[in-house]
Amino acid sequence: MKSACLLAAGLALAPFATSVSAQIMDFAKIDMIAEPMGPNLTMLSGSSGIDPSHDDAAGGRIGVLAGPDGILMVDSQYAQLADKVLAAIRRISAEPIRFLVNTHIHRDHTAGNAFFARMGAVILAREELRDGMMRTAKSPNAAANPLSDPAGWPVITYGMGAPVTIHLDGETVELIPVRAAHTGGDTMIRFVNADVIMIGDFYRNYGYPFIDLGNGGSLKGMLEALDQTARLAGPDTRLVPGHGTVIKRGDLVPYRDMIATVAERVKTAIAEGKSLQDVIASKPTADYDAKLAGGTSLSANRFVTELYEDVMYADLK
Ligand SMILES: [Zn+2]
């Protein structure tokens, strides 16, 4: 009975889950915009008004640490933007791109990996991320999936132990593993001297949170990741999400509260025997919808579906 419910819920989730991919996007219209974050740290984002999933900036944000020791990149955007990303990096520095770190597996953060690996960049990421890429490559639609190019798979992987530390360009870069949150292979990247942490997508301020259960994400991990970030960050540390505006530690609190509140509503509804369709129809996010930028019904329904599925999975453990 439970597995039938899970199957039904999984099928319901599928149309929402595909919204992370580049469906209707005119890549030719996207420019890369540079945002300086310190003497040798820059963020690159795609221009606004083009990406249907992230209206404020197309694709995922890229971090560029540049200096005499070479360049370290965080994430690699859609493959279709690789030339533009490289041109934007070259406006910052002509040094070799030595390291590329992925915050998580989604293609708006990793599909450019192969392009930069072929230029000599060594890719680092969580073991779970590499495993996910290898599985994706074997999936029936692999031919259409840029992740299926093994050149883009991480070369150096790590687990949930101590952070991997890279010393480059006078900066100390910590790759901090995050327990299954947005996906099962999330990493935060902390630039200690610049006092900046790139937190990937377990926080987003455009639309509702995305817990990608199909790629190993979890509600519990999402809440833990937010707590971990709050412990690491000082009051003025700039927290840079994979999409959306840069935030500070204090901004995490209402976001965490919102997730916990909606999750409790969904749990209560499940305990009352409500179906996924009933729970979606009851609009458990209603009091947040107007306040949240990009809080569309699609994004709310996907979030509620994930919470419903997560609770059902948790019930099986
Ligand atoms: Zn993502």
Question: Which one, of 135, 295, 277, lies nearest residue 214 by Cα?
Answer: 135
Between the CA of 72 and the centroid of ligand 1 the distance, in Å, is 20
Between the CA of 273 and the centroid of ligand 1 the distance, in Å, is 31
Question: Which one, of 261, 243, 143, lies nearest residue 203 by Cα?
Answer: 243
Non-local CB neighbours of 153 within 8 Å, separated by 6+ positions: 113, 123, 130, 133, 134
172 - beta bridge partners? 167
Q: Do the beta carbons of residue 121 and residue 98 sit within 8 Å? A: yes
Number of H helices, E strands in the chain: 10, 12
Between the CA of 209 and the centroid of ligand 1 the distance, in Å, is 10
The string over 223-241, giving b where at least 16 C-beta atoms fall within 10 Å of a residue's C-beta and e elsewhere, is bbbbebbeebbeeebbbbb
pTM: 0.89
Could you identify the residue written with the tokens 């687990």?
159
Question: Distance of CA 286 to CAs 240, 258, 275, Å?
Answer: 27, 11, 18
pLDDT tens for the chain, residues 1 to 317: 333 333 333 333 433 433 444 457 888 899 999 999 999 999 999 988 888 777 778 889 999 999 999 999 999 999 999 999 999 999 999 999 999 999 999 989 999 999 999 999 999 999 999 999 988 766 655 544 555 689 999 999 999 999 999 999 999 999 999 999 999 999 999 999 999 999 999 998 888 999 999 889 999 999 999 999 999 999 999 999 999 899 999 999 999 999 999 999 999 999 999 999 999 999 999 999 988 887 788 889 999 999 999 998 775 54
41 - beta bridge partners? 65
35 Ramachandran zone, left/alpha/beta (phi>0; psi -120 to 50) = beta
Between the CA of 45 and the centroid of ligand 1 the distance, in Å, is 14
| Residue-level pLDDT at 72 | 98
Between the CA of 290 and the centroid of ligand 1 the distance, in Å, is 23
Between the CA of 55 and the centroid of ligand 1 the distance, in Å, is 15
| Residue-level pLDDT at 252 | 95
Between the CA of 31 and the centroid of ligand 1 the distance, in Å, is 20
Q: Do the beta carbons of residue 205 and residue 293 sit within 8 Å? A: yes
| Residue-level pLDDT at 59 | 87
Between the CA of 178 and the centroid of ligand 1 the distance, in Å, is 14
Burial label for 143, CB within 10 Å (0-12, 13-18, 19+), is exposed
| Residue-level pLDDT at 129 | 94
